[in-house]
Amino acid sequence: MKIGKLKKIINPLSVGYFIIVCYTLIAILAPLLHLKDPKQIYVDNMLSKPSSEFLFGTDLNGMDILSRTIYAARLDLSIAFAAVFLSFIIGIAVGSLIGFMGGFIDSVVTRILDLFQAYPVLILALAISGIASDSLITVVFIITLVDAPVFIRLVRSEVIKLKSALFVESAKALGNSDFRIVFRHILPIAIPPVLIQIPIRIAYSINIVAAMAFVGVGIQQPTPEWGSMIKLGTPYISSGEWWMAIFPGLAIFGICLALNMISDELQKKSLRSRS
């Protein structure tokens, strides 16, 4: 195979997709991989170094780091994908509505979005967690609340640019309803630029889930979660037990790097297609 063809196959976009597929498959197939129980405590192997028995070592509770890192991927990815999907749907519905209607409704919703985005994410998470319980649904709700305004603004800005286009005026002249104009004519053009933001929002959501667990909000021990694992292992890095925090940290780094690579390449393609 020629080097030119190899470069076309091995590019940042394909590498990013490959990493995402690997993470997803490992997370889905975790129960079939014959791993140790991620919540099993091995009393005689507390703080064990990486070895043939425990490839990633064990934590101070004697739990296997490898199985916990893999099972944490199931939880973190599920939360991130679910929250971003909900945010995207909300963004399409609300963004298209306020963008097309404009006026008073647009101003009110925009000010409400400003209010939500003015608060630091972790402070908002602490406030909501103080009202609700630390459950999976609460974490998804918090991330959706953070991500939805981003998609709403993106869809709104695209709809505002398109609603004065000639094809929209032609559709109105032909007697099309506003609903049909928005969903049949405007959204098919407005959505593709918004899709580019999905990988970067998933990466952001994974970091938020980990950060929430790190400060003691959301997913708690002994449930396997990357942020809580890093929190548990961070104090022990200085004493030489580096594996407790490093392996879950590398897991977050790998998935976020892949998602950023995908987002960057999609954005470059979009800019080239518009130019």
Please state the CATH superfamily assignment of the domain spanning residues 58-274 in this structure: MetI-like (1.10.3720.10)
C-alpha span between 43 and 41 (Å, rounded) = 6
Amino acid identity of residue 175, one-letter, is G
Q: What pairs with residue 64 in β-bridges?
A: 58
Query: What pLDDT is attached to residue 5?
Result: 57
pLDDT of residue 4: 56
Other C-beta atoms closer than 10 Å to the C-beta of 26 total 15
Whole-model pTM over 0.95: no
pLDDT tens for the 275 residues of the chain, in order: 455 555 556 788 889 999 999 999 999 999 898 889 999 999 888 899 999 999 999 999 899 999 999 999 999 999 999 999 999 999 999 999 998 888 888 889 888 888 877 777 777 777 777 776 667 888 888 889 888 999 999 999 999 888 888 888 888 888 888 788 888 888 888 888 889 899 999 999 999 999 888 888 878 888 899 999 999 999 999 888 999 999 999 999 999 999 999 999 888 887 777 66
Percentages (nearest 5) of helix, strand, coil residues in the chain: 75, 0, 25
Q: What are phi and psi of 236, to 5 degrees?
A: -100, -5
DSSP 58: B
**pLDDT value at residue 23:** 94
pLDDT of residue 26: 93
d(CA 170, CA 190): 18
* Amino acid of residue 161: K
**Distances in Å between the alpha carbon of 142 and those of 16, 26, 135, 146, 272?**
27, 26, 11, 6, 35
